[in-house]
Structure 1
Amino acid sequence: MVYLEEKIEQLRSELICLVEHTGTFIDSRVISLSQELDEILVEFEKQHTPLYL
């Protein structure tokens, strides 16, 4: 649980720094990092969504 939260914060920080450095969202590294963050966020949501039967 804590691992995912730490990973989200790490990727978020890296993404912000990279966008500030490149000055654009249209960069292969930015897109790749953004996709990785999306995947982690989906996993985080799965773990925090209650199952209703």
Structure 2
Amino acid sequence: MTLKGRSDVRGIGIARAADGYQLQVNLSRDSGSDLPGAVDGVDVQVRVVGSIRASA
């Protein structure tokens, strides 16, 4: 899975899952199914979060 250079990626992190942890990828828009469901046995959760803006 390559996320480097993708303009729609807003964040990557670790999130709790029912059976442990999973990789969470936050995207600005729905990119369809071009991301895998798991990487090296770790589930991947994709969330569409929209654009990110600074707040005061």
* TM-score with structure 2 setting the length: 0.21
Higher helix share: 1
State which structure, 1 or 2, has the greater radius of gyration over its C-alpha atoms: 1
* TM-score with structure 1 setting the length: 0.22
Higher RCO, 1 vs 2 (CA within 8 Å, ≥6 residues apart) = 1
